[in-house]
Structure 1
Amino acid sequence: MPGVLAALDGGVDAWRAVQVAGCLPHAVDRLVPRLAEHLRRADLTGRRDEMSARAALRAMSALGDPSALPMIVETLLAAVRHEAWGITTSALQALTVLGSPGAVAQPVLAAIRPLTAAGTDHFVREAAVPALWSAGGDPREVTPLLYDLLESPIYYHRTTAAELLAEVGERAALPRLRELATSGGEWIEIAGAEAVWRLGGPPEAPLVLERLLRAWAKNGATANDVTDCLDRMGPAAAPALPQLRAELARPRRGGHMDTIENDESLQRTCRKLVERLATV
């Protein structure tokens, strides 16, 4: 911690410090003002400071302190002016985490709305729609945008749309989400299946389980996402017990990026599920 603070205060290796600041939530009161100052000093007109600015925004998001919101908004508006789309994307993602209806002024929402349109930068558009929902909270405004994203040829647009349609509670999307859960590749099918579960509940369990377990068997990297969804399904996930036990018995598991951290998280979730579901 002293090294991170010294780097942020002195500017020497600050670009390294911002990349770990989000892992130090016990020092949020000392880190957020320094991260804000780091963003104020960043040059958003070129690419030199882009990596560092985006890391600072991710750190603010991870720290979860609402006091960071004014600086996130300021950075977002400046990035849009300078057409710094990478920084714009990171600021929108941070706004999604920390924003809430009433906490963001109407001029900011007005700046976000054009970013949700087709034809804008792909990453910006994907980040803008959730930010508009988080900060605006109007399902009538965001739902048509989500239906548009659901038909996008870009797969991560469709996964984002599925997740948010479930969050918004758009039950009218269930037929399309069932289609999504049965075609389009493992990641899209998982997003569709989870959205179907969240909107449809237990009557959808057979379809949801079949698609989740199929995706997991086909691609081990999906294990964390699948087991997280199984965890949310409660007793309805009982048919997954054999696959959960088989995963724990493997000497080496899959999971995101094949990292130790994700493997340990996967093991914890699997053990919790086995213990819970074995008594169902």
Structure 2
Amino acid sequence: MFTGIDEVDWASLDHAYGPADDVPGLLRGLASPDPVEREAALDAMYAAVHHQGDVYDSTLACIPFLLELVAIPEVQDRGAVVELLTSIGGIELDGDDEPGPDEEEFEEAANYAMAAAAVAAGADVFVGLLSDDDPGVRLAAPCALAMLHGEPARVLALLCGRLEAEPDAEVQLALVEAVGRIALRHAGLRAEAVRWLTGLLAPAHEPCLRLSALTQLARCGPASLPPDVAATTTALLREADGPASADETCGTDDLLRTLHSALGDRVDERIALLVGRLNSGDPGQRTDAVWMCHGLIRTWRGPYDELVRCIGAQLGDPEPRLRAAAASLLESLFGLALPAADALAARIAGADGGRGRHRGADGGAVRGADGSANGGADPCTGVAVRDDRALVALARLGDPRAVPALAVALEEPELPREVAFAVPYLGAAAAPLAPVLRRRLGETELDDGAVPLMLALAALRAAEALPEVLRVLRGASEQGGEWVTESALRALTAFGPAALPAAPELRTLLASACPSVAAAAAKALWAISGDGAVLPPLRQLLAADGPDARRSAAAALGFLGPRASAAAPALRELLGSRERWLRMDAGIALWRVTGDTRDALPVLLSAWEENRYGRVEVAECLTEMGPAASPAAPLLRAELSRPRRHNVLDGGSGTHDIERDERLLTLCRRALSAGT
């Protein structure tokens, strides 16, 4: 074993933490009879030699020895070594992604390519592992073959032929998944793989195997799925989770997640699957289904009323994690949470008994097991806990039933920020909250803790809070920063002429070194007094260096409207800017200043196509234009026909993504109905 390992100059090679002279010891540790030593060696291989998926020169040097290890039956835990090899050799580089020889990433990409070639050259070793005595080895081998072996047709035949002889249910699922991988990777073998997978749907097979085949078909052969895929899947899940399958290792949650994702834009079928799962008797399965709902609703548009009602029903479940998951999702849905409004109101009433009973033994807000106020009971007193996420969700619906609980929450010694940020969504219904908002603003530090209070007061146009807002404005430049200052200016803008005593401070801020503050001060002064003195500094800001300053100025000029017509030539000039956001903002401002679509509309139509994240702002402007924006009608109709949300990000999401996309759809409909 390990012939030639000491002939490698390991000290001259590197891994994530420097010279690789410790690697021979790690390789020998993988072959140790001591399970603790084997586990430590494997952890170290992933931490250093294959750190976060990277391939170093030492990683390449390890490959022959790792291939040797998996071929020796006496070595324990060889399945883990097969998985390590699969990870090392399984990174693919598509042609467009490969860096050129003069790029910094070239050496890294070359290492990946050499690793793939080296593992593939020895991949025949995995063939014999399909019938190994160790189930862990048999479990890892199918994926290794599907991803690494250079003869996919041979591998497909081996995998399909092995299924009948394989006694382990979990390994059977791995064989089915590997066939699906081959179908996805090799178009010429897809039809054969799909035929085999379709045959596994027959009732003679175990439910877990049929579920696995259904999942792979959704990924590689959706046309071969049964027409009633949701009903079929729900029935199979019920059968697989039932007592008759108690001894069968299946992982139905994992299978459902994979199938759910593979169904892609088949939203109706995905909804039906999740509704079925949300009616399961297992709280864990329902919790998992709620988290799957997150991904579905965040990514795809669809008719979610029934699904949202089912999510709302989970708020009354005794399982705290399920309640927290449901409240978290409903909080992110904004208007889409409407079918769950009654459930949210009941949750809030039940959490505080309608009397604000939400304090712990020390007088502070009671927090859930995860440290957040997600509802439950104080373990010391048994008193019900306010569910902040449910409260925010109800407030974001504009539901006045949230007001009493909001009033209690706003009295907390430590202001719950997200709750305070939700107040503006209530509109006029939040008027009873103005006194406590004003008092809290008068007490708060001059930092970003004041922001949600001022935004709430701005939404209420509570001009009686002028002294408290001025206190923040006067001290924010030193203690609070730009965001606090701009929030104070937004409140003054909302107060309008009632905020006239603030005019001296606003005139001073017109000369602020921060462009966004100067522009916000101009808007506030205009709203308060209509003072044309704001126009020269805004025109000067429009000519400043940097797109951010120009964007701030353009937005403020658009707010002024026709009274800012003198700035129209400068705005027209910005329509040709290289900055796409600036072009869009200039086009919107030009329309609002001139009321003329000839120059602005073509720029906005281009902005729609080149910058999907600006479509809400463009749609707002198109709605204002009315019939004059008729050339935009095809774009608006095309947007309404798309199943995927316009602002979906791969690998991430924002807390307001769903709200913005739903707003875009509303604006598109409104613009079209206005004659666009």
TM-score (norm 2): 0.37
> Could you tell me which of 36, 39, 62 is aligned with 2:459?
62
Q: What amino acid maps onto 2:542 in structure 1?
A: L
Matched, 1:161 2:553: yes
Once the two structures are TM-superposed, the CA of residue 40 in structure 1 deviates from its matched residue by 1.6
Once structures 1 and 2 are overlaid, which stretch shifts more, 7-16 or 228-237? 7-16
Q: Residues of 1 paired with 2:425 and 2:434: CA distance?
A: 12
State the partner residue of 2:518: 125
Q: What amino acid maps onto 2:529 in structure 1?
A: G
Residues 190 and 136 (structure 1 numbering): CA distance in 2 closer, same or farther, change over 3 Å? same
Q: Which has the larger radius of gyration?
A: 2
State the partner residue of 2:476: 79
Q: Residues of 2 paired with 1:127 and 1:253: CA distance?
A: 31
Q: Residues of 2 paired with 1:235 and 1:277: CA distance?
A: 5
State the partner residue of 1:6: 408
Matched, 1:99 2:496: yes
Q: Residues of 1 paired with 2:431 and 2:524: CA distance?
A: 25
Once the two structures are TM-superposed, the CA of residue 190 in structure 1 deviates from its matched residue by 1.9
SS, match of residue 500 in structure 2: coil
Does the Cα contact within 8 Å between 1:152 and 1:158 map onto a contact in 2? Answer: yes
> Could you tell me which of 439, 443, 459 is aligned with 1:37?
439
Q: Residues of 2 paired with 1:197 and 1:177: CA distance?
A: 10
> Could you tell me which of 137, 154, 175 is aligned with 2:569?
175
Does the Cα contact within 8 Å between 2:636 and 2:668 map onto a contact in 1? Answer: yes
State the partner residue of 1:138: 531
SS, match of residue 439 in structure 2: helix
SS, match of residue 152 in structure 1: coil
SS, match of residue 646 in structure 2: coil
State the partner residue of 2:226: none
Q: What amino acid maps onto 1:130 in structure 2?
A: K
Matched, 1:187 2:187: no
Q: Residues of 2 paired with 1:104 and 1:155: CA distance?
A: 31
Q: Residues of 2 paired with 1:9 and 1:250: CA distance?
A: 45
Once the two structures are TM-superposed, the CA of residue 57 in structure 1 deviates from its matched residue by 0.9
Residues 244 and 16 (structure 1 numbering): CA distance in 2 closer, same or farther, change over 3 Å? closer
Does the Cα contact within 8 Å between 2:441 and 2:453 map onto a contact in 1? Answer: yes
SS, match of residue 545 in structure 2: coil
Does the Cα contact within 8 Å between 1:112 and 1:132 map onto a contact in 2? Answer: yes
> Could you tell me which of 646, 653, 666 is aligned with 1:268?
666
- Structure 1: which 4+ aligned runs deviate by more than 6 Å? none
Q: Residues of 2 paired with 1:27 and 1:274: CA distance?
A: 31
Does the Cα contact within 8 Å between 2:461 and 2:491 map onto a contact in 1? Answer: no
Once structures 1 and 2 are overlaid, which stretch shifts more, 255-264 or 169-178? 255-264
State the partner residue of 2:539: 147
Once the two structures are TM-superposed, the CA of residue 115 in structure 1 deviates from its matched residue by 1.9
Q: Residues of 1 paired with 2:496 and 2:674: CA distance?
A: 35
Q: Residues of 2 paired with 1:159 and 1:146: CA distance?
A: 11
Q: Residues of 2 paired with 1:212 and 1:172: CA distance?
A: 21
SS, match of residue 183 in structure 1: coil
Does the Cα contact within 8 Å between 1:8 and 1:35 map onto a contact in 2? Answer: yes
Q: Residues of 1 paired with 2:495 and 2:466: CA distance?
A: 7
Name whichever structure is richer in helix by fraction. Answer: 1
Q: Residues of 1 paired with 2:647 and 2:623: CA distance?
A: 16
Once structures 1 and 2 are overlaid, which stretch shifts more, 51-60 or 14-23? 14-23
Write the deviation string for residues 106-159 of structure 1: whole angstroms up to 9, x where unpaired.
Answer: xx32222222215x34443232222222223211x1111111110122434323
Residues 61 and 245 (structure 1 numbering): CA distance in 2 closer, same or farther, change over 3 Å? same
Once structures 1 and 2 are overlaid, which stretch shifts more, 179-188 or 231-240? 179-188
Q: Residues of 1 paired with 2:494 and 2:672: CA distance?
A: 32
Does the Cα contact within 8 Å between 1:223 and 1:255 map onto a contact in 2? Answer: no
SS, match of residue 104 in structure 1: helix
SS, match of residue 9 in structure 1: coil
Structure 1: 5+ residue stretches without partners? 45-49
Write the deviation string for residues 32-70 of structure 1: whole angstroms up to 9, x where unpaired.
Answer: 1111111122122xxxxx232111111111222333333
TM-score (norm 1): 0.84
The share of aligned pairs that are identical, in percent, is 35
Q: Residues of 2 paired with 1:26 and 1:84: CA distance?
A: 29
Once structures 1 and 2 are overlaid, which stretch shifts more, 223-232 or 164-173? 164-173
Does the Cα contact within 8 Å between 1:22 and 1:58 map onto a contact in 2? Answer: yes
Q: Residues of 2 paired with 1:164 and 1:124: CA distance?
A: 11
Does the Cα contact within 8 Å between 2:591 and 2:600 map onto a contact in 1? Answer: yes
Q: Residues of 1 paired with 2:429 and 2:601: CA distance?
A: 41
**How many residues get paired?**
265
Does the Cα contact within 8 Å between 2:454 and 2:491 map onto a contact in 1? Answer: yes
Q: Residues of 2 paired with 1:148 and 1:42: CA distance?
A: 36
Residues 136 and 184 (structure 1 numbering): CA distance in 2 closer, same or farther, change over 3 Å? farther
Matched, 1:251 2:649: no
Q: What amino acid maps onto 2:622 in structure 1?
A: L
Write the deviation string for residues 75-106 of structure 1: whole angstroms up to 9, x where unpaired.
Answer: 222435x4533422221121122232x6422x
Q: Residues of 2 paired with 1:89 and 1:31: CA distance?
A: 22
Once the two structures are TM-superposed, the CA of residue 186 in structure 1 deviates from its matched residue by 2.5
Write the deviation string for residues 193-227 of structure 1: whole angstroms up to 9, x where unpaired.
Answer: 122223333xx423222100101100111111111
Does the Cα contact within 8 Å between 1:197 and 1:205 map onto a contact in 2? Answer: yes
Structure 2: 5+ residue stretches without partners? 1-402, 649-653
State the partner residue of 1:277: 675
Residues 276 and 3 (structure 1 numbering): CA distance in 2 closer, same or farther, change over 3 Å? closer
Q: What amino acid maps onto 1:142 in structure 2?
A: V
